[in-house]
Structure 1
Amino acid sequence: MIAATEVDESSLRYRGWRVVLACFLMAFFMFGFGLYGQGVYLAELQRAHGWPGSLVSSASTFSFLLSAVLVIFTDDLLVRIGLRALILCGLAALGASTALLGLMQLPWQLYLAYALMSVGWTGMGSVVIATVLNAWFERRRGLALSLAFNGATCGGIILVPVLLALSTSIGFRSAMLAATIVMVALVLPVVVVFTGWPAAASLHAAGPVSSGGNAARHSRRALLAVASFWTMVLPIAIALLAQMGFIIHQVTFLEPLIGRASAGLAITIMAAMAVIGRLTLGLFVDRLDPRLACAASMMSQAAALLVLLHSQSPIVLLLCCAVYGFSIGNMITFPPLIIQREIGSAAFAAAMGLGTSISGIVSAFGPGIVGLVRSASGDYTMAFAMCVALDVIAAGIVLWRPGKRAEVAAS
């Protein structure tokens, strides 16, 4: 019995939906600033300071890798300082990072800003969002996750153009400071008022949080021996590697075929379809087998890439990007659903942290690998064919069910 079963999760009066709003705003700013906004920083910092692109890019890589390490310890931080304090620390770190990006003058400050951004990911990223929503929802968990994680895509669609427009009109420094103030003004009160564990805090995903720190660490070690954990983490990591590789190289591939304007339109369509895909999945995923749905998403991306490689029609290419985008956001929605069903509540935060770390490290190499294959072969045919093969392999692995549900003890 969990807290969520004692109330009507479909009712708008259920407090869990206000928690979803808080998580949506967290994802909006965290992914908007921490992921999609990095392209803006690359251009603006080079323009403002004359720094080489390699310096800013290496700081981005440093940030992603540091985030992948720090997120492993999310469950320990939930135990030691609590949910609301962790989110507020993440908000403070992200705010300091974005403000410093606007104010910095020296290269070492760039690495400090990106290190603070990594701390922000730990307090406001997908692991915390999935863990708190797992505590509030059972029957509507998939819909809640889909709605909250749509904030990530909306951050890319809305925040990045706003930053670019503000940078043009009032300058990059003022744009970053203004956006930081807006973020704090919106997120701080919502987090303080709405976030927290359900009343029965010892139940559901809040279970390990109410135990001791040693229990949480024991859960994380025990996960490495659970086959169902690996058949979830490995395919997600492989699929995200292919996904990151395609997304970063998408414009370079499409521009010679359909022009810069249409290539930009392709990105907009893909991002919009990611929102639609999350919403559509959220309506049905609680009645679906998450492994089957995950494999279907991976195969749809493989099919879209395969058609993309064999067509030069602008309409077909845009349709392929739309189909590909439909499943982009769902790759971070499936893991918490599989973890809850097959690993259990006691080790949920530990499994999310460790799984997100592994997939984050692996996927970080996606753009580089695609770029190397493209350079070696002379075009993107072999590179994207590799991405197709990776998606097919990932779909096969995620369909493997090692055995019955494996509860990982937290004590």
Structure 2
Amino acid sequence: MDNLITDSRYSWTRLALTLCVGTVINAGMWAIIVIMPAVEAEFGGSRAMASLPYTLTMIGFATGNYVIGRAVDRFGVTLSLIVAAAVTALGYGLATLSGSLVMLSLAQLIVGFASAVGFGPLIADVSHWFVRRRGIAVAIAASGNYLSGAIWPILLAGVLQESGWRSVYLVMAVATLALVIPLAFTLRRRIPEEAHAAAQHASTLNARSSGLSPRTLQYLLGFAGIGCCVAMSMPQVHIVALCVGLGFGPAVGAQMLALMLLGGVASRIVSGLLADRLGGVRTLLIGSCLQCLALFLYLPSGGMVSLYLVSLVFGLSQGGIVPSYALIVREYMPAKEAGARVGFVMMATILGMALGGWLSGLIYDLSGSYHLAFINGIVWNGANIAIMLWLLSRSRPRAPRAVAA
């Protein structure tokens, strides 16, 4: 294996480093969820207004996936990571100076935009270094996002309780600069041209079999991503607020979120192994159906034990969905455009999370409960399932060959 460019010992080392980077810098996406009850208590306002900083975070995260993805295609991942880490730390610092929800939301827009480098752009970068094991590699790289959400809230729970949410953000600013920038220099090596050529050949054949242009497929995947992530956002964004409303407290909600995300990590690994056999479309379809089932299970759940169990089931069901979009992009679209194309589809999924997070808060304000919010997610999930079934009926993807050094 050592004589290969792709799937080599270096590829796996690079994947491990990528996972470490993602676990640190993706915290920008999750921090606002954990502090949301404290922010609502400090600034007041409705549940929908308290969700505004999260929505702006996700809008920034979505845009950053596309913009920084294009930058990675042009300038490489190292420079992109260094700049993004500095801007993320700046956003954390500005957030600590906020005197209103509007100011905090604008700061979160910056945090979300810059921390996006740890998701779609990193996934696209590491996907170039694998062919036979691309599914599991992409799944592991994407797991940095969930590990971040599972680890950092637990690590910083004491800081939040004793010193408040502003101290949490100062700690994250220092951690981002101290950990991400040194790791960025370990990812300086670029993929050789011959590896791009082999991937290009396979993706051209796949695109031809589907009868769809890369642009058309990109938009179709974007809409599918919005559908599945509106559904996904209901438990992920509002589980802490749901637990507070039921009288269980924010600590219980944070534990459920961590359990959900750890289940998502396990799900991503299993889905990655499955994707190496079945391909991205089939794997995404399986995950989407399981997620829909898990959302139904939330409807009758109202006790602490049942919510713990269903949150674990939800995490185990949906973790492989978003990484599968990156695999579909790599199977059907030009390799040299991977950063921008993966970034666009990841942008759509994150916009779905932002829309779903806001919609769930609005539905709660109008109805007084989250029951209809779960039903809203199920409907959006159904649209995603329909698109994947249609795409599966049109094509049979081919894999590229491994490339020797």
> Cα deviation per residue 1:154-182 (whole Å; 9 max; x = unaligned)?
21222122223134456655554444333
1:163 alignment partner in structure 2: 156
Alpha-carbon distance in 2 for matches of 1:375, 1:5: 59
What one-letter code is carried by the residue in structure 2 that aligns with 1:340? Answer: R
Distance 1:87 1:178, change over 3 A: same
The residue aligned with 1:212 is none
Matching of residues 353-392 of structure 1 within 5 Å? 353-392=343-382
1:28 to 23, 32, 51: 23
Question: Hey, what's the Cα distance between the residues in 1 that align with 2:329 and 2:354?
Answer: 23
Contact 1:31 1:155 in 2 (8 A): yes
Indicate yes or no: 2:242 matched with 1:249. Answer: no
Contact 1:143 1:282 in 2 (8 A): yes
- Does the 8 Å CA contact 1:71/1:354 hold for their aligned counterparts? yes
> Superposed, which structure 2 residues align to 1:205-354 within 5 Å?
223-224=214-215, 226=216, 228-253=217-242, 259-260=248-249, 265-310=255-300, 315-354=305-344
Q: 1:117 aligns with which of 111, 134, 158?
A: 111
Q: Distance in 1 between matches of 2:111 and 2:167?
A: 19
- Structure 1 distance, partners of 2:167, 2:381, is 42
**RMSD of aligned alpha carbons:** 3.5
Shift of 1:120: 1.4
What is the Cα deviation at residue 137 of structure 1? 1.0
- The structure with higher relative contact order (CA 8 Å, sep 6+) is 2
- Aligned residue number for residue 210 of structure 2: none
Given candidates 367, 390, 393, the residue that maps to 1:400 is 390
The SS at the match of 2:190 is coil
Query: Using a 3 Å threshold, how does the CA distance of structure 1 residues 79 and 291 change in structure 2: closer, same or farther?
Result: closer
TM-superposition CA deviations, 1:90-112 (whole Å, max 9, x none): 1111122223434x265586466
TM-superposed deviation, 1:83: 2.5
Distance 1:53 1:43 in 2: 11
Q: Which runs of 5+ in 1 are unaligned?
A: 209-221, 407-411
CA 164–265 in structure 1, closer or farther in 2 if over 3 Å, else same: closer
Give the direction of change, closer, same or farther, for the CA distance of 1:56–1:201 in structure 2 (3 Å limit). farther
**Counterpart of 2:335 in 1: which secondary structure?**
coil
Comparing 304-313 with 385-394, greater Cα deviation is found at 304-313
The number of aligned residues is: 380
TM-score by length of 2: 0.80
Shift of 1:291: 1.4
User: How many angstroms apart in 2 are the aligned matches of 1:100 and 1:310?
Assistant: 41
Verify: 1:154 aligned to 2:147, yes or no. yes
More off after superposition, 287-296 vs 164-173: 164-173
| Equivalent position of 2:14 in the other structure | 19
Q: Distance in 2 between matches of 1:8 and 1:159?
A: 32
Distance (Å, rounded) in 2 between the aligned partners of 1:158 and 1:146: 18
- Distance in 2 (CA, whole Å) between partners of 1:256 and 1:40 is 15
Give the letter aligned to residue 21 of structure 1. Answer: A
Identity of aligned residues (%): 21
